[in-house]
Structure 1
């Protein structure tokens, strides 16, 4: 069995603190052959100090987290008192047991009994001013399985330096400094906070029931997506004092939306464009696998960050996300941005995973062109009719062939011919990651970069005053079969590689 931690490490000159946790592996497990004593473990803050066995039935690994408490239980007197992972019910799965209350913990540094009791004691000290919202936040705390999972009410006075960022169809977005900051796990301090810059998304709902319904949908999808790092993290709720409206407190992305990012970064290497598309496809796959359709996917609803050193995207604006089972055909109108909307939507058909894929195809084109689709067209019923008749943006010269073919499949007029999100994820995984630097796709990206460098671009035409890229409710025109199929060819957008100046876009 695992020896006492004092005797086990008493002779080590390099160790000055006791290990806080012991990890007991299932019967018959052995230490990995490629990890030796005192070498860093692949996971952060984990170090393999020594493996201890008893007739090869158990193996132990010490995990060093400094001298911080493992939970907030008031009965805890020894700050170095360990918790333990033990196999449960012979399933070979590790389970954390709090040594303070002897109850199972869901994750490291989170005892559902001790930590939730601490949150419950704070209920009487805060209120949002809305009983339903209070009950909702409290419920997320009572049901939480980790230190990071629950929502909290953030008093407006704890937010300062609030700046307006942008307006959208679902409300406005602000940037703010959160004095208390997000919850983090520190290697030595355990549960702590760090002052943070956050985004405030004003909720534009009406009465209390609508607010709670909106929040519930956001919370459900947020759990599905942010666990996989494909959605912005949501920390809780506050109230914008000036507007008197409730707001989501969310993860702030310094690079802003994909649309803004493409305007600021004029010459992006093609392989980096592929990284961006790949991360969007992963987010779509996660959503669609859970039976969720975004319903309003466009470059303004995609936020840009970095995964390691690679640019990465996550899908935002949960206000329009709905379960597939709840979608219904709307005959009078629809919500969205016309250039990213599939032709079947203009014919009164409901949103589907295929309409998200169509929008993804338009985003692929935007990545290749550096500007939103149809920015020189008025966004009206004529454009909708032309899209139904097969109008798509012209291919930018120099775009890799495989990119073009996939993009065309995504925006096919027949929803059944469009790829599904999992296929997109697999393709980009193969293109960008699997075959590494010797892949055919990387060779084509290099050729596309060279083509762009050798073909100077000129300033594009000014964006049409009637081109609108903020989500809005669109009254659907009534198209007859005669009208569809007679669109004028003069409406086709033409962007030649030698005449398009991405550097001048946005001026």
Structure 2
């Protein structure tokens, strides 16, 4: 079958709800392409408009991780979209055939998918249906994002062309805000990518239940089980933590698509340790030794310098007046001064006690000296003492005076 006189259909390679994809050959440019034909949509009056929207959306994005659009038109009342042919499998088929993937391969796919989403977001396009079936691997392993069929423009909220109250997308990868009926934004694509990466690592989506409504409730309320708790081996903790950040319930707590692309591309998922800052130099702790003569205190100007490691403690101004040179004691190094020196209040108390003790000793010495060297005055104090014997002739007081003798004589008359 020849479409538009140049695209010869070879074989069907995929079929979705809205269209069928064929491997085709472009006879004009002599290359293989993929041609998507819109299937009859009797029950969906917006199908044709949505198909045109997909062509417009994808054509705005030119990036190696996004399937490129080559042409768009109508043939025999049937719309067609010509795209780049990706020679490889979708991630859905990879999961079916091989199951969980090693962390290093998932990290490479994460970097490429995030880079493609970032290119779309820069053009104001939100994919809204990121899932394993829409992520394709070409022959050399490069990941490409395809199927912008339900994408929307950020600058044209009405361009989604969905029925009122209808949630478009796949429930297994639907962001919590979309489960609440809020418009999809770039963070919604990041959340969906996180769900895909989780499934690639564990072999199962982060949330699953029997009904789509139950799955939406899990997206809103449940916490995903860390992959390593499910037995995933070889997964660095940094990768796991970042993946759980992509699945944050709050859109504002998720990284942007470009941030995620840079993070995975730089190899941060391996959890490479960052160099630690150099530790601050510490002065060596002095070893215990026998007391040594105290050093002579340096002048005040030298003590304030920063050249030496030894410092000196100055006496407190409240302890005593300015010390005299003869009474100032040398101070030891900081370590010994802190362990042996007493508080300033103790110095004052000791000095007062020493002064009082000295005064008492001085007074006691004076009293003892006065008592020792004072003259003997016991005769005038009324005490008796022995005197050497004397003769009657030699003591004038023992002889009576003439007047006294006359009185005695006259008294006898």
TM-score (norm 1): 0.46
Q: Residues 450-489 of structure 1: matches in 2 within 5 Å?
A: none
1:235 is paired with a residue of what secondary structure? strand
Question: Are the equivalent residues in 1 in contact too, given 2:18–2:47 (CA < 8 A)?
Answer: no
Indicate the residue corresponding to 1:427 in structure 2. Answer: 263
Q: Of Structure 1 and Structure 2, which has the larger fraction of its residues in strand? A: 1
- Matched residue, 2:188: 355
Aligned to 1:32: none
Could you tell me which residue of structure 1 aligns to residue 341 of structure 2? none
Which of 401, 419, 423 in structure 1 is aligned with 2:237?
Answer: 401
Q: Which aligned runs of 4 or more in structure 1 are off by greater than 6 angstroms?
A: 209-212, 238-241, 328-331
User: 379, 385, 395: which one pairs with 2:217?
Assistant: 385
What per-residue deviation string (whole Å, max 9, x for no partner) do you get for residues 426-446 of structure 1?
Answer: 1012117xxxxxx94589xxx
Q: For 1:303, what is the secondary structure of its paired residue?
A: strand
After TM superposition, give the deviation of residue 303 of structure 1 in Å: 1.2
2:14 is the alignment partner of 1:166: yes
Inter-partner Cα distance in structure 2 for 1:387 and 1:235: 37
The answer for the alignment partner of 2:144 in structure 1 is 314
Q: Which residue of the partner structure matches residue 91 of structure 1?
A: none
* TM alignment of 1:27-426, pairs within 5 A: 154-155=3-4, 158-163=7-12, 165-174=13-22, 176-178=23-25, 180=27, 193-196=29-32, 198-204=33-39, 213-214=49-50, 217-225=53-61, 227-237=62-72, 245-266=78-99, 268-306=101-139, 309=140, 311-327=141-157, 332-374=165-207, 377-392=209-224, 395=227, 396=230, 397-398=232-233, 399-426=235-262
Higher helix share: 2
* Superposition CA RMSD, Å: 3.3
The DSSP-based 3-state class of the residue aligned with 1:318 is: coil
Q: CA deviation at 1:212?
A: 7.5
Give the distance between the partners of 2:220 and 2:47, measured in 1 at CA. Answer: 36
Distance 2:93 2:156 in 1: 32
Q: Report the secondary structure of 1:336's partner residue.
A: coil
**Residues 210 and 345 from structure 1, CA distance in 2 versus in 1: closer, same or farther, beyond 3 angstroms?**
closer
Count of aligned positions: 263
Paired residues of 1:170 and 1:203 also in contact (CA < 8 A): yes
Contact 1:258 1:302 in 2 (8 A): yes
> Contact 2:59/2:69 (CA < 8 Å) preserved in 1?
no
**TM-superposed deviation, 1:371:** 4.2
CA shift, 1:384, in A, is 1.6
1:170/1:160 Cα in 2 relative to 1: closer, same or farther (>3 Å)? closer
Counterpart CA distance in 1 for 2:50 and 2:176 is: 28
Structure 1 residues 314, 195: CA separation in 2 closer, same or farther (over 3 Å shift)? Answer: closer
- Structure 2 unaligned blocks of 5 or more: 274-413
Larger Rg: 2
CA distance in 2, matches of 1:352, 1:158: 36
Please state how far the C-alpha of 1:234 moved relative to its aligned partner. 2.1
TM-score in terms of structure 2 length: 0.56
